[in-house]
Each structure stands twice: as C-alpha cells, then as structure tokens.
Amino acid sequence: MPNIHFEMFPGRTADHKPDLARELTNGFVRTCSGPGDRLQVVITEVERENRGVGGELMANK
C-alpha cells in the first residue's frame, strides 16, 4: 500500500487538509499510475522550533 508522509508548519485550517490529501493523491495517480483508493496520506505538523535548516532552527529565522 503506497504512503505519502507530508510535513509542514502548523497554521493551515482543517479545511485545507482534505484538499491537500486529494491533490497529493491525484498527483500520485497521475505520475505513478498507482491505486489512489489505497494511497495513505499522513500530514504531520512540525513546530518551527523542531525544524532546523542550515544549522539554524526555523523558529530563529
């Protein structure tokens, strides 16, 4: 069963997440010809203080 794990900063509304899951699924089906009805999308919200880029936490940028 295919899975997409998507991480993003918090702040999107509950209304955005179904659209995101649908668009990720549609993109997968378009590019990989996979079974969209079995694809799992996991959305994880990561706080800025828990993500670093270039040795610096995003909370400090």
What residues make up the domain containing 20?
A: 3-60
- Say how many domains are in the chain: 1
Return the pLDDT at 61: 87
User: Are the C-beta atoms of residues 10 and 47 closer than 8 Å to each other?
Assistant: yes
**Maximum distance among all Cα pairs of the chain, rounded to whole angstroms:** 41
Angle, alpha carbons 59-60-61 (nearest 5°): 95
Task: Decide if pLDDT at 40 tops 90.
Answer: yes
**Other Cβ atoms closer than 10 A to 61:** 10
Evaluate the CA torsion angle 14, 8, 34, 2 in order and state its sign: negative
Return the pLDDT at 25: 97
Point out the residues that are catalytic. 2
CATH code where residue 38 lies: 3.30.429.10
* Average pLDDT of span 34-38: 89
The predicted model scores a pTM of 0.83
